[in-house]
Structure 1
Amino acid sequence: MNAVGIDEDAVTGWIASLGVGAVAPLTFERIGNGQSNLTYAVRDSGGARWVLRRPPLGKLLSSAHDVVREHRILSALQGSSVPVPKVLGLTEDPAITDAPLVLMSYVDGVVVDSVNTAESLTVDQRRAVGLALPRTLVRIHDVDLDDAGLTDLASHKPYAPRQLDRWSAQWEKSRTRDVPEVDELATVLARNVPEQSEVTLVHGDFHLNNVIVDPAEGKVLSVLDWELCTLGDPLADVGALLAYWPEAGDSVAGPFMASTLEGFPTRGELVAAYAAKSGRDVSAVGYWHVLALWKLTIIAEGVLRRIVDDPRNRAGSGGPTEKLIDGIVRRALDTAEAEGLS
């Protein structure tokens, strides 16, 4: 049975032409809990493995899920201090695929994308893995844009207003219902934009599910899912990490529960680790935490919309529900209140 979204014969021929040593026949299996770009494990008859990425199926919003752009970013980071997979190929040939495909190396490690996986780690390993994330963010934010050829990746104008404009537009295009709190939060965020002092590479979707780790060493082996990468305020990535990092005492935990287990650092400890490693002023991180929760709400609603429009986009773990999305909105409102944003 063919993997949905892949013409296995045509793609096998393309991979064979890349000179990566693939021995036919190849098998393709949808992997990961990602609800955006689709990811497949590719295996050949000799046991070698690769990873293949393509955009979601069906109608897409303009500029979303751009794997060609993701290919550019990963290519630019090859050989840098940022751990990323090796990029092996890109095709947009309509004889092979109906959407761009990117082939990259397989990185052997652990993705802590479920409570079950997190439970397989020791308490000490959970803490080490958690603290490795903000240290890896510092590597991303220290990339020299000129050396990497990424100075023109995106606008250098203040990042928060750009994000508010972009994601408000995405909300209007992808929402399945009225959620007045989303508009309310946008207004609050627009009134409280912090001053931006630098422009760095920003991953845009950095969290525990989007890294491959070595628990024994407590290190990040590879950072994945660069489709939302841009240029902007580095604290935006710290805020996103917090948004995807529920704690056991949260009234509304959100979709990713692994970090609620014993051993994982608190959100405060993540911020402190980032500040210590980067030397940056993190006093505005609360604003970026709220913005990230607001953005997460819109992303989750967009995923729900794509699943409604084309059920083949549903990941193995299912997908977001209206109840879950409403819970994220509640967390955003509560966090805004706690941070004194009004």
Structure 2
Amino acid sequence: MFEMRSSWVWDFWFADDGDRYHLFFLKASRALQDPDRRHWRATVGHATSTDLRTWEEHADALVPADGPAFDDLATWTGSIVRDDAGLWHMFYTGVNREGKGLIQRIGSATSHDLFTWTRTDLVLEADSAHYEKLAQGAWPDEAWRDPWVSRNADGTGWNMLITARSTTGDPDQRGVVGHAFSPDLARWQILPPLSQPGDGFGQLEVLQTETVDGQTVLLFSCLNSELSTERQAGQERGGIWAVNAPSALGPFDISEAYLVADQSLYVGRLVQNRAGQWQMLAFENADDTGAFVGRITDPQPVAWADGKLTMMGAHHPSVGNRRYVNAS
């Protein structure tokens, strides 16, 4: 389990250099006292492990930029890929002071070693031809975040899946899988969403696609409070969701989504251990009283059961042995 005495830890993503797993995660000081304030103080932390259980913390990977910049308030969730020349690319979310943290944009940084990162000049914004903007007033912020980047199946270019909202439909059901394409990780074209609105989700957070034992699956997260009124009336719960798909680009029928874990856990991430077995980690979101926890679980094996991706370990936040980072 990854826990820090000094900071809350929440959304996270991985890079694997072949020897070590690199964990990148959002963190904010516990001195803020109120965990709801963490979003506007978020930086991207970094830790490494050989077994996904015992972690060594390193210097932060990214902190808010000097202003004015699209990310001069906070740096949020992203993903990492490696190009054919061996250069690592981190795509991440930024919010700025000018926009009062309400307008989300996507930027990138590169690294030769996964430790020292240099920002590029990339800034991707939501295209109003396909995606809801803040000015529409249908949602508290302009959702355009959590980029999940992967190589095209045929090797010709890269795709980015994005937490976004449609311009149409009931306001509480506009969550869609945003999409952009790049031939080279530098030039990006924003494309229509890979799912439709109206399936009961205000937003689909922290997307990931993987093929597990021959079946492609899309993971996303959505809280109780961000489910549609209809889903809430049906006593449905938020948490980590999955939807099976024909390919990494869908199309994704979000109406077929099923719950993998309730919102005591959030942001499920699939990763293969050195034996090639698929595991899921998540961050512990809420304890039995509903209070925010802010630490990352040990890996739990996953398997298919009745056509659904299933965590084989316990779903409760107490699962696993607690390990403080750099504990004395």
Tell me the TM-score normalized by structure 1: 0.28
Higher relative contact order (CA 8 A, sep 6+): 1
Tell me the TM-score normalized by structure 2: 0.29
The structure that is helix-richer by fraction is: 1
